[in-house]
Structure 1
Amino acid sequence: MPGSVNRPVRRRTLVLGSAAAAGAAALGGPLAPAASAAGFGWSDDGANYVVDTGANLVFKVSKTNGDLTSLVYRGTEYQGYGGKNSHIESGLGTSTVTLKQSGSTILISVAYGTLRHYYAARSGENNIYLWTNKADTSVSATRFILRVKAGLFLNDEPDSYTYAPTTVEASDVFRKADGQTRSKHYSRLRVIDYDHVGWSTGTVGLWIVRSNHEKASGGPFYRSLLRHQSADGGGLYEILYYGENQTEAQRFGLQGPYVIALTDGGAPSPSLYHGALTTPWADGLGIAGYVPASGRGRVAGVGIAGRNTAYPYTVGLANPEAQYWTPARASDGWFSLAGVLPGTYTLTVYKGELAVCTTSVTVAAGATTTLNTITVPSSGDPGNASAIWRIGEWDGTPGGFKNAALMTYAHPSDVRAASWTGNVVVGSGTETSSFPCYLWKDVNSGILVYFRLTAAQAAAAHILRIGVTTAYANGRPQVTVNDAWTSAAPSPPVQPSTRSLTVGSYRGNNHTFTYSVPASAWLTDTSRYNTLRIDVVSGSGTTSYLSAGTAIDAIDLLA
């Protein structure tokens, strides 16, 4: 067992997305040459079904509750810590667990109330394919956690708190002795950013390859738990509905497959990735809610006009039953979405993470819905408006603002964070990088922005806009100009009710506040700076970084 519980071990690969993994070696992909499968089969040890894939993997599933109770790869046990197994949620309790073999596939089915969960093994592969069908709210969330023994894959990444004994917030955010913060929440990655998550020693890799998340909630830019490492052991997650920082109602039905993949140290085979994986071998297994490729359709768009080519664009489909997304081609906006369940969807075009255009599209099984060029209306992109000045960019994120990049993998109190206070001067060239990405009522409310106007500009009323990406405890901006005019406190938009700003996520519901500033508020002396004060108002929240707050997308004064 490499490493020890007292000293971090340097590892080669921790979390990889599809781009990083494209050329990596792997074992046991579904399209790889079959390993020796002489031992393929199953047995019953009384308490568990024992499955040998005939390669290097043997695993056990409890006949009582459907827990994954053992995961042995090349003779080493990887499963479990603290007396806990791997399972849906925190374990399902007494379930009906059955097994059947169909040629080169073994399927274990778990029935718990209305929930159905499945493990599948293929002859000669070092993979376990999993599906979960959640029919209703009788199970609180939709999470599979793979629990991994301590000391096998030690690391000191943002999602590891093995060496961070001081609690910062709740019971899940910690501080190391050097002032850096750690939490299982600090994944850095949005769902669209990764295909798999896990660890590698260089000779052994343990991964969860995510599903397409068609039954998940939150869209392509949602962040959630992916991985953690503590003194007790490690955890890898497939989270489809977590209830934290959610912007959508949860979806029900079958989700999968997601895959537990063991390798020779490289990334999982790209043939396991959700965009490439096909499972015709599962078509006749009787998995509840399973829809084969023949029962799905495709949406293809010839292009997107009206784009700002400085930004990436994403096309998403969503309805109450399913969601999908894909990047649009940078050169012309072409896109294609395959494997879509039949139905009518809202199609949304995102500039960065900001929705700039929506339309409706209907998908039929076995057919391709082809869309003519979609044109983003000029009014759909707030960045098209003529502005006297602008801080930040209208892309639906706080990117470019002070501390923005750090906040996806650290707590705001982290020693690496620049001061959350400090005023901003328009025209300095550092307007955006000096403006904090987050504002809190109890931390930096009342930040000042200084700017000059020409005589003509000062003689007219103007619209001030503040775009936000989320809010905590109904925090929203109220503005004062030159101590001469103060806006009304705006009504709070609908935002997630859980923590966000302190657990690595700025993703909520993008919203733009507009303020009609009268000409009487401006200074008439063009040599002097006008002063804009931005306060955070709310009657909710507590103190410090859990006081009411909001995340900034862009601020501008329209011409």
Structure 2
Amino acid sequence: MPGSANRPVGRRAFVLGATAAAGTALTGTAHAAGFGWSDDGSAYVVDTGARLVFKVSKSTGDLTSLVYRGTEYQGYGGMNSHIESGLGASTVSIRQSGSTILVSVTHGTLRHYYAARSGENNVYLWTNKADTSVSATRYIVRVKKGAFLNDEPDSYTYAPTAIEASDVFRKSDGQTRSKHYAKRRVMDYDYIGWSAGGVGLWMVRSNHEKASGGPFYRSLLRHQSADGGGLYEILYYGQNQTEDQRFGLQGPYVIAFTDGGAPSSALFPGTLTTPWADSLGIAGYVPASGRGKVAGVGMSGRDTAYPYTVGIANAAAQYWGSARSSDGYFSLSGVLPGTYTLTVFKGELAVYTTSVSVSAGGTTTLNTIAIPSSNDPSDASAIWRIGDWNGTPAGFKNADLMTYAHPSDVRAASWTGNVVIGNGETAAFPCYLWKDVNSGILVYFRLTAAQAATAHTLRIGVTTAYANGRPQVTVNDTWTSAVPSPPTQPNTRSLTNGSYRGNNHTFTYSVPASAWKTDAGQYNVLSIDVVSGSGTTGFLSAGTAVDAIDLLA
């Protein structure tokens, strides 16, 4: 583990405290100086014996104090760290089992847990949400003002002007900030936090088996404001959500302190093991022996220019992993028993699905997965193509910026402007189209006489939509497509809060030969309009994100 902050302290010590709530046994053997717990009347005080002392309210289960090396870090705007915005009245108990202390919180059907290990400066957390009776969608660590500062996209400390929904802000220099602008997909990070003055404070995420949205989901991870900072573990977040909520035990996720460096990789999802928690009685806990594994020996039919991801999901759980670039081998471990839909993604575009069953203690081995060329729209012969079919707007104008900025950001190139095929068309085409901003964008292209003599299929792939925005097309002012039906998409903001991830969908238009210019020297003009009866104005008008556009041969 990097740095001494995560290493056990090999000294024996006494146990702090000698009584328990509701008759819970409190005895146990401590292994690090100061390791143990006490009751200060309003909170259980847990000393890990590694310079970390934290308090949990006996009445609410809130984390009310987080002291590391004698400095208090908990406290944001007078609020505690807790599930959602705080559970309120709860039943809270504590017990010690050898070198582990477990604090259990019960609020209706919800169960939440804090665990401390002797000699570690970590707090392990689990949350078991059984149903919708409790609005528990996140855990937030609220950090004191001034402890850590940042002016990254996910900060609004220095951006006092709200421009959208009271959570998107503009700085005086025209750059935008929001806690939503985390840049990262879930699969792109293991931890989030800050480091300053020789102290690192991190939230190490769980494996998200009970979360929703898959490997490409984006959600708020941290923020800074005038009152302090926040670190999040999002268990379910309704914004731009593509899946129903999953229920059951999620965790552990970890609040980790270090000497300024990154948290130990031993805490990361995929590597963290918790055999010490097997006998703690955590509701919904499934040990490693009750889980299985899925492995694939390889894949054929891949486009090696793109990364491939394999995900499995059902109504109860989700897992994912990267396919090896050399041969497509993949392995998913720690899987709860059940039958899952397995999906192979080229970039973020699903190109193969099948069913797979997993049993406790077993490994389900799959033979080489053959991806049919018909499953990858890139394999279709096209007269011209803007972008590529990878399930993302990558390569389009402003695409990279939109994962960490508002469309109105000063750094964004103009959202308007026409496009000429053969003249840098992908970089010139905007990644997003809105009814009230750049609807009616024109694409100019030539066809040979032979091409103009026949009908062709036009395809527009999208990755999400806001307010049912979808494309209607007109060719040469002589032929206009029907208004397509809107596909199923999230019903919340997306394009303005850093996410293009929704449900990939392809619109197809059969353009008759009579629509084309017969003179091969003349440009054909394709107009793409955004249509919808919903949305408001500007960047909150109906819109959509583009994956690829092509005219098939």
Hey, what's the Cα distance between the residues in 1 that align with 2:165 and 2:341? 38
Q: Hey, what does 2:2 align to over in structure 1? A: 25
- Which amino acid counterpart does residue 482 of structure 2 have in structure 1? A
Hey, what's the Cα distance between the residues in 2 that align with 1:470 and 1:26? 43
- Which amino acid counterpart does residue 137 of structure 1 have in structure 2? T
- Which amino acid counterpart does residue 488 of structure 1 have in structure 2? A
Give the conservation status (yes or no) of the 8 Å contact 2:476–2:524: yes
Q: Hey, what does 2:489 align to over in structure 1? A: 495
Equivalent of residue 91 in structure 1, options 86, 93, 102? 86
- Which amino acid counterpart does residue 304 of structure 2 have in structure 1? T
Aligned counterparts, 1:450-529, within 5 A: 450-529=444-523
Q: Hey, what does 1:440 align to over in structure 2? A: 434
- Which amino acid counterpart does residue 511 of structure 2 have in structure 1? V
Residue 240 (str. 1) matches residue 235 (str. 2): yes
Residue 554 (str. 1) matches residue 531 (str. 2): no
Q: Hey, what does 1:327 align to over in structure 2? A: 322
Hey, what's the Cα distance between the residues in 2 that align with 1:478 and 1:317? 34
TM-score relative to the length of structure 1: 0.95
Residue 531 (str. 1) matches residue 525 (str. 2): yes
Equivalent of residue 105 in structure 1, options 96, 100, 108? 100
Hey, what's the Cα distance between the residues in 1 that align with 2:4 and 2:495? 39
3-state DSSP of counterpart to 1:379: helix
3-state DSSP of counterpart to 1:284: coil
Hey, what's the Cα distance between the residues in 2 that align with 1:374 and 1:109? 45
Residue 267 (str. 1) matches residue 262 (str. 2): yes
3-state DSSP of counterpart to 1:241: coil
Hey, what's the Cα distance between the residues in 1 that align with 2:550 and 2:50? 60
Hey, what's the Cα distance between the residues in 2 that align with 1:524 and 1:117? 69
CA-CA distance at 1:155 after TM superposition: 1.0
Hey, what's the Cα distance between the residues in 2 that align with 1:26 and 1:437? 43
TM-score relative to the length of structure 2: 0.96
Hey, what's the Cα distance between the residues in 2 that align with 1:62 and 1:362? 42
- Which amino acid counterpart does residue 25 of structure 1 have in structure 2? P
Aligned counterparts, 1:5-404, within 5 A: 25-29=2-6, 32-34=7-9, 36=11, 37-404=32-399
Hey, what's the Cα distance between the residues in 2 that align with 1:253 and 1:283? 16
Hey, what's the Cα distance between the residues in 1 that align with 2:134 and 2:85? 10
Hey, what's the Cα distance between the residues in 1 that align with 2:523 and 2:284? 63
Runs (5+) with no aligned partner, structure 2? 12-31
- Which amino acid counterpart does residue 484 of structure 1 have in structure 2? T
Q: Hey, what does 1:12 align to over in structure 2? A: none
Identity over aligned pairs, percent: 82
User: Per-residue CA shift, 1:6-63, capped at 9, x if unaligned?
Assistant: xxxxxxxxxxxxxxxxxx824454xx44454120000000000000001110000000
User: Per-residue CA shift, 1:446-477, capped at 9, x if unaligned?
Assistant: 00000000000000000000000000000000
Cα RMSD, aligned residues only: 0.8
Hey, what's the Cα distance between the residues in 2 that align with 1:138 and 1:416? 43
Hey, what's the Cα distance between the residues in 2 that align with 1:521 and 1:457? 12
Hey, what's the Cα distance between the residues in 2 that align with 1:56 and 1:380? 55
Give the conservation status (yes or no) of the 8 Å contact 2:398–2:413: yes
CA-CA distance at 1:202 after TM superposition: 4.9
Give the conservation status (yes or no) of the 8 Å contact 2:9–2:49: no
- Which amino acid counterpart does residue 453 of structure 1 have in structure 2? L
Give the conservation status (yes or no) of the 8 Å contact 1:28–1:124: no
- Which amino acid counterpart does residue 541 of structure 1 have in structure 2? G
The runs of 4+ residues in structure 1 deviating greater than 6 Å are: none
CA-CA distance at 1:140 after TM superposition: 2.2
Give the conservation status (yes or no) of the 8 Å contact 2:456–2:510: yes
CA-CA distance at 1:83 after TM superposition: 1.1
Give the conservation status (yes or no) of the 8 Å contact 1:28–1:269: no
Q: Hey, what does 2:26 align to over in structure 1? A: none
- Which amino acid counterpart does residue 360 of structure 1 have in structure 2? S
Hey, what's the Cα distance between the residues in 1 that align with 2:4 and 2:93? 28
- Which amino acid counterpart does residue 444 of structure 1 have in structure 2? N
Hey, what's the Cα distance between the residues in 1 that align with 2:127 and 2:417? 49
- Which amino acid counterpart does residue 535 of structure 1 have in structure 2? D
Give the conservation status (yes or no) of the 8 Å contact 1:27–1:269: no
Q: How many residues align?
A: 533
- Which amino acid counterpart does residue 352 of structure 1 have in structure 2? G
CA-CA distance at 1:288 after TM superposition: 0.1
Give the conservation status (yes or no) of the 8 Å contact 2:311–2:320: yes
Give the conservation status (yes or no) of the 8 Å contact 2:8–2:118: no
Hey, what's the Cα distance between the residues in 2 that align with 1:204 and 1:132? 27
User: Per-residue CA shift, 1:181-233, capped at 9, x if unaligned?
Assistant: 00000000000000000000151000000000000000000000100000100
- Which amino acid counterpart does residue 49 of structure 2 have in structure 1? G
CA-CA distance at 1:81 after TM superposition: 1.5
Give the conservation status (yes or no) of the 8 Å contact 2:5–2:259: no
3-state DSSP of counterpart to 2:235: strand
Hey, what's the Cα distance between the residues in 1 that align with 2:451 and 2:401? 37
Give the conservation status (yes or no) of the 8 Å contact 1:442–1:543: yes
Give the conservation status (yes or no) of the 8 Å contact 1:35–1:55: no
User: Per-residue CA shift, 1:402-428, capped at 9, x if unaligned?
Assistant: 000000000000000000000000011
Hey, what's the Cα distance between the residues in 2 that align with 1:433 and 1:411? 19
Hey, what's the Cα distance between the residues in 2 that align with 1:294 and 1:300? 17
Hey, what's the Cα distance between the residues in 2 that align with 1:26 and 1:352? 36
CA-CA distance at 1:397 after TM superposition: 0.1
Q: Hey, what does 2:16 align to over in structure 1? A: none
Hey, what's the Cα distance between the residues in 1 that align with 2:341 and 2:135? 27
